[in-house]
Structure 1
Amino acid sequence: MSAVPAHTDAVPAHPDTVPARADWRDTLREATDLALLGFAVALAALPVLTLAPAVATASAALHDRSVTGAWPDARTSLTRFGRALPAGLAVSAVALAAAALLAADLLALTTGRVPGGGPALALTAVVVAVLLGYAGLVAVAVGRTGGRGWRTAALEVARTCPQRPGTWAAASGVCALAVVLGVLVTPVAVPILGGYALAALHALDARHPVLAPDLS
């Protein structure tokens, strides 16, 4: 007498089953995380010269988020911030000096104290946007190495940007838009724009990544 196979209610998984799509709560959670990241950068950058270490730490956190799907813990971020301080202080000083010179140039052109008029002002604005895009890609490259290696990242991005003019132009557009919106919105919202802009740069660079600097 043949055995009767046991009945089971289990339904085999369909090979074409796709994972559930993210809903509005996931989108809201991601937006909140990026806003908090922006405020964390603003808080860490209050001494002004700690701006570069703060950006480097935030960039490293975004890189971890894109690779592992999770944010690093507070201890890891604090350790990265401390390691980024020595070189980051010098980077901040150079970046702030360059920003002050460019701002003074734009102000002089706008008020008519320097000849050139509209064409000179437009050219200077383009140069500023291009430099911002370059700086944004350098910040992304630094994030890929845990927030360190500014010099190597700057040289690597300078080498690869001419080979990726589209990505460079898009990064410049992201940074320029963030600056324009930062002027228009209330000051309390500026850190939020910073977090969103850095995340946008990471998403942009993910399509054609800058090679991570070799820190060995």
Structure 2
Amino acid sequence: MTRDWRDSVRAAADLAILGFVVTVASLPLLTAGAAVGTASVAVRHFQEYETWPRLSSLSVAFRGRLVRGLWAGPAFLGGLFFIWLDVLGLRRGVVPGGPVVLTAVLAVAVLALGWAALVAVLGGHPRDAYALALSRPPLLLAAVGVVLVALTLALFVHPALVPLLVGFLLYALHAVTARLR
């Protein structure tokens, strides 16, 4: 079967829609883990078979991840809050250590962000992501790079368009993971 430019445009539109769906499904913070995990399943299926999975199988995947993923959204938001507090305290001089500790905190935060991206790719399995990050450090760094590129792009697009980056981010993370695994 030959592919033409319309297939690429269709895939890009589908990924944009997936990004919006994941964003809307993640708005009640407790469903964020299940939404991202289900989107990860959909992207993996799309990359393997070049078709999207049925809605019924995605709803089963979402329900199966809902209880397991209840911690993901609040934990991610809590982690961001504590990193923000650390950075704020270090920049104001309230916490001793100055630029050296600030650099260390930001480096750990960036690596944790890469680990969270690997958790998303693996469908919500933190221990598997931890083992994968330890066994393949370049993969962790590549995941960090992909997330940082997406965050940089988010700074340059209209805020209403930021959710569409979620689908592209998941696709890129799956592509990088498949390549470096």
TM-score, normalization by structure 1: 0.76
Pairwise mapping of residues 1-216 of structure 1 onto structure 2 (< 5 A)?
20=2, 22-142=3-123, 150=124, 153-209=125-181
- 1:63-83: CA deviations, max 9, x gaps? 111122210122222222122
Amino acid at match of 2:129: V
Distance in 2, matches of 1:187 and 1:108, equals 28
Give me the whole-angstrom Cα distance separating, in 2, the residues matched to 1:108 and 1:194: 31
Q: Which runs of 5+ in 2 are unaligned?
A: none
Q: For 2:153, give the aligned amino acid.
A: L
Partner-residue secondary structure (3-state), 1:87: coil
Deviates more, 1:71-80 or 1:116-125: 116-125
* Contact residue 129 and residue 175 of structure 1 kept, 8 A: no
Query: Offset at 1:122?
Result: 3.0
Q: Deviations over 1:17-71 (max 9, x none)?
A: xx53x33222211111111110000110111121111100100101111122210
Q: CA deviation at 1:113?
A: 4.2
| Aligned 8 A contact 1:59 1:140 in 2 | yes
Superposition RMSD in Å: 1.9
The 10-residue stretch of structure 1 (111-120 or 37-46) with the greater mean CA deviation from structure 2: 111-120
Long gaps (5+) in structure 1 = 1-18, 143-149, 210-216
Q: Is the 8 A contact 1:42 1:191 kept in 2?
A: yes
Q: Is the 8 A contact 1:132 1:176 kept in 2?
A: no
Which range moves more in the overlay, 36-45 or 172-181? 172-181
**C-alpha deviation, 1:166, in angstroms:** 1.0
How far has the Cα of 1:178 moved from its partner? 1.9
Whole-angstrom CA distance in 2 between matches of 1:29 and 1:107 = 43
CA contact (8 A) 1:174 1:201 kept: yes
The number of aligned residues is 181
Give the distance between the partners of 1:166 and 1:68, measured in 2 at CA.
Answer: 27
1:125 Cα offset (Å): 2.3
| 1:112, distance to aligned residue in structure 2 (A) | 4.6
Task: Specify whether residues 184 and 24 from structure 1 end up closer, same or farther in structure 2 by C-alpha distance, changes over 3 A only.
Answer: same
Which protein is richer in helix relative to its size?
A: 2
| C-alpha deviation, 1:111, in angstroms | 4.6
Q: Distance in 2 between matches of 1:195 and 1:50?
A: 17
Structure 1 111/36 Cα, relative in aligned 2: closer, same or farther at 3 Å?
Answer: farther
Alignment check: 8 A CA contact 1:129 1:173 kept: no
Asked if the contact 1:61/1:71 (under 8 Å) is kept, the reply is: yes
Q: Percent identity?
A: 38
How far 1:109 sits from its partner (Å)?
A: 3.3
SS at match of 1:50: helix
Q: Secondary structure at the match of 2:21?
A: helix
Larger radius of gyration: 1
